[in-house]
Amino acid sequence: MRYRLLGGSGLRVSELALGTMTFGETWGWGASKDESRKIFERFREAGGNFVDTANNYTDGTSEEFVGELVASDRERFVLATKYTLTMRPDDPNAGGNHRKNLVQSLEASLRRLGTDYVDLLWVHMWDGLTPVTEVVRALDDLVRAGKVLHVGVSDTPAWVAARAHAIAELRGWTPFTAVQLPYSLVDRGVERDLLPFARELGLAVLCWGVLEGGVLTGKYDDATADDAPRRYTRAGEQEQALAREVVAVAAEAGCSPAQVALAWVRAQPGNLIPILGARTEAQIVDNLGCLDVDLEPQQLERLAAAGAIDLGFPHSFLGSDHVRSLIFGTTRELIEG
């Protein structure tokens, strides 16, 4: 395992993060406490130090497991959790991005994690109601109080995240160091705005859903695959076609399909950190094997072509030869940048 800086901070994080939404069996498809420990130990032994959880993962069980697992060496680990999602569905203030929920959610998370601070706190999802200034100021207050070291934003429109980041910078509040989003060969919509936003501002990008719930391992196209509980029960034809391409490249490269899917994301531009979400010890060991996989340029291009998306307006419009000639005439190729 190698390490990289978390966005514009000096915090060193492993090039792969351990996602712990699978820690706990409350939702019917996760890992037992014993299996969760095995997954964590394999990640730790590989040099991983970046662990990602959330207040609502397996109804709080994930944070409890993670707290126990890092307790003996808390300072070694970069511990990230999230707030926004409700833990009391009948309470209108128990969910959302506002200050009250932020404070009470973080305090509950710290109790479950058995620590007095988290290294990174994520805004889990944008609620569409709370003013941006309330969110960024409340996050800054928690950083100043020492309960949070860095802040990030997850599952939020690019324009909202950019506005929040700009306000924080202009007012001397704590800016985002990272963004978390879904990114895989199957789901590339973030290439339109969120990835360019992150690159422009120098943010680290935590990628979830890299294996698309196991679809890109080929198991949904395999009648002999195990019948253990899964997050998803089926995959569409387009997803299965992409999975078959991944399986074919894996056969050529002498590695597993999961390693190919992870290697493709790792090869994309920007400070991208895939989140490994394993349900078994065997899965985390296989996923970690992506560190030894370097796909050939033609294989990367082949996979990209199989999952290509239309960026749409204004991206395709501004990138067209006609519009570029209207803007630059015949000089664009002469201009660096």
Tell me which residue of 60, 54, 70 sits closest to 27, measured CA to CA.
Answer: 60
What is the SS3 assignment for 80?
strand
Mean per-residue pLDDT over the chain, rounded: 95
Tell me: pLDDT of 232 over 60.
no
Nearest-angstrom CA–CA distance, 197 and 181: 12
* Cα dihedral value 26, 28, 30, 32, nearest 10: 60
Tell me which residue of 253, 238, 242 sits closest to 218, measured CA to CA.
Answer: 242
pLDDT at residue number 223: 45
Nearest-angstrom CA–CA distance, 261 and 210: 7
Residues of the chain with pLDDT > 90: what percent? Answer: 92
CATH superfamily, with its number, for domain 3-306: NADP-dependent oxidoreductase domain (3.20.20.100)
User: What is the band of 224 on the pLDDT scale with cuts at 50, 70, 90?
Assistant: very low
Q: List where CATH 3.20.20.100 sits in the chain.
A: 3-306
User: What is the band of 227 on the pLDDT scale with cuts at 50, 70, 90?
Assistant: low
pLDDT in tens, 250-283: 999 999 999 999 999 999 999 999 999 999 999 9
User: What is the band of 218 on the pLDDT scale with cuts at 50, 70, 90?
Assistant: confident
Residues annotated as catalytic are 57
- Cα of 106 vs its chain's centroid, Å: 20
Q: What is the mean pLDDT of residues 184-205?
A: 97
The reported pTM is 0.93
